[in-house]
């Protein structure tokens, strides 16, 4: 399947989310509009000479200031200053400051803020399917309007329960490391890590595409490998540090090409209270602190 066909598959999934409450959207029409809008955004950015971070969803980000904090997770609150414009004529339809849960925003914001480090300033471009779609939003946003936002990502706002959970998790991890006699680096993000095999290659950054292997274990049962995965970038999954669970977002950027490392990751930055899967179909239980043994084979 070619790249465009793979993107259409992704779009079908997006339509299933965005149009779940609609009475039968015209899927072929939405697909074509979505593809045309992505081409329009990409052409305009190329003509302006802007370097954009691209996502398979069609969201584009031109980053003027790259932050250092971890992006938002789905259950986080976010604090953002913004100016919203129509892409076609640059008319401002909204601006201000918002502090809300990530899931309360349009899908394009949810995608962008899950990929953008806290402290960043950027312009994000959102196809209408991930904005206000065929319905539009009042007189200022007609149907099928591509959106662009200048944003300053001020802060991720965690709940008291999340903060307490991280404290509990890191205490358990630190006790495990002490009991095992493992001298790990304490990262400000909350993860602990050991570079087990150093290498002299380039170091991974937020948006590098990576070829890697990794194995997941539970902190409470480190003798058993739950799942082993190999990742190679493709048109559906770019395999960048920002595309992985939070603990790996931080951890992979400690690695050089050719190196190996072990990460000790709090549950809040792994699969959370609900648990989940890292694309393998194998479920990691909820509230599980995990160990990831990773090998960074190649940075593309």
| Cα three-residue angle 290-154-157, rounded to 5 degrees | 45
Q: Please, which pLDDT band fits residue 103 given cuts at 50, 70 and 90?
A: very high
CA dihedral of 17, 19, 20, 24, whole degrees rounded to 10: -140
pLDDT digits (tens, 9 = 90+) for 128-185: 999 999 999 999 999 999 999 999 999 999 999 999 999 999 999 999 999 999 999 9
Cα separation, 160 vs 2, in Å, equals 46
Q: What is the pLDDT of residue 283?
A: 85
**Per residue in 252-293, pLDDT tens?**
999 999 999 999 999 999 999 888 877 667 789 889 999 999
Nearest Cα to Cα of residue 290 among 217, 227, 226, 230 = 217
Mind listing the pLDDT tens digit for each residue in 32-66?
Answer: 999 999 999 999 999 999 999 999 999 999 999 99
Query: pLDDT by residue (tens digit) across 177-222?
Result: 999 999 999 998 899 999 999 999 999 999 999 999 999 999 999 9
pLDDT at position 11, please? 52
Could you check whether 3-157 and 160-299 share the same CATH topology? yes
For residue 18, pLDDT over 60 is answered with no
Of the pLDDT bands very low, low, confident and very high (cuts 50, 70, 90), residue 97 is: very high
Is the CATH code 3.10.50.40 the one for domain 160-299?
Answer: yes
Domain ranges of the chain: 3-157, 160-299
CA distance 218 to 20: 36
Does 79 score more than 80 pLDDT? Answer: yes
Residues in the chain: 300
What pLDDT, on a 0 to 100 scale, did the predictor assign at position 172? 97
Percentage above 70 pLDDT, the chain:
90
Dist CA 88 CA 91 (whole Å): 8
For the entire predicted model, the pTM comes to 0.87
Taking domain 3-157, whether its CATH number is 3.40.50.10860 is answered by no
Q: What sign for the dihedral angle of Cα 82, 83, 84, 86?
A: negative
Q: Which residues pair with 121 in a beta bridge?
A: 65, 152
Q: How confident is the model at residue 25 (pLDDT cuts 50, 70, 90)?
A: very low
């Amino acid at each position: 399947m070619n790249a465009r066909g793979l993107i259409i598959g992704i779009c079908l999934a997006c339509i299933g989310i965005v149009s779940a409450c609609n009475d039968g959207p015209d899927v072929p029409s939405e697909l074509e509009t979505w593809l045309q809008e992505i081409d329009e955004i990409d052409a305009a950015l190329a003509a302006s000479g802007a370097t954009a971070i691209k996502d398979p969803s069609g969201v584009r980000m031109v980053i003027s200031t790259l932050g250092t904090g971890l992006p938002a997770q789905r259950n986080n609150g976010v604090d953002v200053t913004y100016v919203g414009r129509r892409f076609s004529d640059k008319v401002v339809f909204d601006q201000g400051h918002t502090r809300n849960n990530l899931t309360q925003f349009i899908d394009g914001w949810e995608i962008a803020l899950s990929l953008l480090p806290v402290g960043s300033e950027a312009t994000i471009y959102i196809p209408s399917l991930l904005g206000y779609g065929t319905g539009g939003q009042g007189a200022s946003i007609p149907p099928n309007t591509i959106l662009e936002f200048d944003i300053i990502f001020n802060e991720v706002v965690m709940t008291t329960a999340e903060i307490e959970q991280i404290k509990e998790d890191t205490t358990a991890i630190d006790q495990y490391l002490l009991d095992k006699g493992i001298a790990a680096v304490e990262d400000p993000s909350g993860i602990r890590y050991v570079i087990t095999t150093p290498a002299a290659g380039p170091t991974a950054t937020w948006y590098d595409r990576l070829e890697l292997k990794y194995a997941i274990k539970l902190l409470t049962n480190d003798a058993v490998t739950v799942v082993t995965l190999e990742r190679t970038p493709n048109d559906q999954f770019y395999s960048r540090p920002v595309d992985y669970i939070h603990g790996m977002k931080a951890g992979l950027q400690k690695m050089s090409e050719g190196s190996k490392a072990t990460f000790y990751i709090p549950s809040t930055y792994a699969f959370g209270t609900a648990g989940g899967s890292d694309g393998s179909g194998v479920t990691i239980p909820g509230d599980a602190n995990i160990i990831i043994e990773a090998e960074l084979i190649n940075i593309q």
